[in-house]
Amino acid sequence: MAAGDIRLSRRDVLLGAFGLGLTATGCATKPTDVPARTAGTKSEPSTLSAATGAPAAAPKPVVTERIRSMSRRTEVELIVIRPEGAVPNLPVCLALHGRDEGASQFVDLGVPEMLTSVVNYQGTPPFAVVAVDGGDSYWVRRDEEDDPQAMLSDELPTWLEQRGLATTPFAVLGISMGAYGALNYGANNSDPAVAAVSPALFLDWAEASERDVFANEQQWAATDPLHQLNSFAGVPLGVWCGESDPFIDATRRLVDTAKPAVAEIEPGDHDEAYWRKVLPDALKFVGDARI
């Protein structure tokens, strides 16, 4: 049986468990908006209630906030997604959204329910998914006023600590433009596991320049994952891409050269239907990378 056939069967099992998980919980979790916090304010309750000494309530599965990013010179949305029934102090998988999207893309695609299924019904060790707005610049510095990579490296650890989470992400997952950012982040930050879904990669500068994002060819080459393939040696890497995806040729080059642990290229396009199909596998991949 081909590797792709094995992976497909595994997804069928995962999605079946996902459906059982939704039946068990009764309904999907809705995102919860809370007021933005000032720096230094703890966002999670202690594990014991100060008044009664009894165990405190588990953190909400989805918490959405607005917070000021000095690196991006703007207010951004920060979303923490935990599996149902999770405790504080979870390890973190960073999630980077696609172009023309924001952190809420992962809620819209059903990641809260998928994460609960993967952790509570598939035996993956519990972890949180944390998403933050990164703009539309392929997660690279557009100018002195907007540097999403600096936000991730300089500001995110403090935000995670304030919310009772591990300060160094053990993994990063990205969709489309976010996969470009995830691969770039993984190549430069303590070897986290990387899940690249429909990565928006370019075979040459002529193609990349059409996005009107990179300041020049040098900036693109310095951040382009296909120019940094040696950085992925020993890094747990998973790649998912549809056969009809406009970035399929560049993705095939990534797969052929980087030799990822998981390379899933199958029927599908660059759209939500494909992402909903493969995200459970991508979440399980990053979660199991810690075992």
Strands 171-175 and 262-266: unpaired
Count structural domains, the chain. Answer: 1
Is 119 part of any domain?
yes
Percentage of the chain exceeding pLDDT 70: 80
> In the prediction, which pLDDT does 59 show?
77
| Enclosing domain of residue 228 | 3-27+60-288
Residue 164 belongs to some domain of the structure: yes
**Residue 43 DSSP symbol:** -
Q: Name the DSSP letter for residue 131.
A: E
Reported as a single tens digit per residue, the pLDDT across 236-266 is 999 999 999 999 999 999 999 999 999 999 9
Residue 72 is assigned to a structural domain of this protein: yes
Residue 101 belongs to a domain: yes
Q: Is residue 38 assigned to a domain?
A: no
What is the number of other CB atoms lying within 10 angstroms of the CB of residue 81?
28
Side chain identity at residue 81, one-letter code: I
| Whole-number Å distance between alpha carbons of 110 and 20 | 15
**Reported pTM:** 0.81
| CATH number for the domain that contains residue 174 | 3.40.50.1820
pLDDT at residue 203, rounded to an integer:
96
Question: pLDDT digits over 180-230, tens only?
Answer: 999 999 988 878 999 999 999 999 999 999 999 999 999 999 999 999 988
Q: How far apart are CA 202 and CA 251, in angstroms?
A: 9
pLDDT at 55: 53
Q: Is 51 inside a domain boundary?
A: no
- Residue 90 inside a domain? The answer is yes
Judge whether 47 lies within some domain. no
* DSSP-based three-state secondary structure for 138: coil
The pair of structure tokens assigned to 176 is 């489309």
Which among 251, 238, 242, 239 has a CA at the least distance from the CA of 288? 238
